[in-house]
Chain A
């Protein structure tokens, strides 16, 4: 058989085929379907009722509440109540209620492993690709299609390899990689194809950093963002209770056909900042040095996992937030928050003046009560700074790594975090 990419192997397995060819349309069997409270039960329940249909396999469904928590108004409470009621009726036992953001909770609870084909009812679903699974986002109606049939169609993607060699410098993270790529290639740089991150600098990253790469493949415009599994993957999954994983099969073969192969030197990457209102408005941090901020936000699946909290803590430990600046910290999962608490990371953030927020999507989704005000200038470790997404249309959100967000919190202005490490 000719050489195949990781994406092609994953899709061929799900399509019950020996091989697939980029461009062809195939029907895939879904191993797992993940939903959250916003695009999940409140939307799929009425549609399933209209169809008079049941979930094809409740064992293959995971529901996680994160968008409308805390539920402080009638509509939010109704949305969360619908999720709780629906999982009971549908027989969905894998229900995680208020313990964190879906993309972080899903692997934490051991639901992902290399080789799987997974759909998620959220655009940041490519996060699962960090584990060598093909995972992508769908809307609520398409999720109903999966829930009823267990299948979904797919146009087999080409593969774009983004290779980073060497090692990233201290104070440079996966977030900087993705802001750089969005700036360099645009938000459609991924062309809705499969983007695979490879190279020695990627191999040195821990799982949560790889999750940030895969996660922001959404902003980069790919359908899926993949990292071939290795010993780092094996160790993370073993701790999550996933025993056997296959690292030999789930990799791109030498000589496989690629749509593009970009190579970069990890050591040459500086911390990046993206100006309002696009992740593609990125440049090295020096270009924005001195921009005054009102708020520093460490949050979201992109930027508030344990690894992210540790980055922020390295800058904040022993320092205080600048006068007039508010630092908000919304750990991406309860487990990450409690690990951070036990090891002293959380104390470093809170002692610096950070305010602890619930383990939910918070200001990133812009669905709840926490929204930035008129003219507010924020620097955020989240993924998107679209106009008005996180608050008022006149609010201005700069995107950066947790290191750079923490540096701005301490100095009151955008600053190079490497000078504070």
Chain B
């Protein structure tokens, strides 16, 4: 679970890059391409936000003790970091021209 947040970020990057390549190669209309990119990125952000909330509320099992608390803290903060990274790296680019 320690890498979950950034796996989702990686998925967002790959999906956005592939959608953009396919859209430009097959001459999708600009609006459709931009919309599909936006939806894909927002879906990943929503997933990250949902997991962030879920892990922030969760309590680690008593059998893991301090180790459980440590791992939960790391998972929550990797999710937060991945959320910020996804938003920062992918969203602003949507305001640029699509295929030039």
- Does chain A bind chain B? no
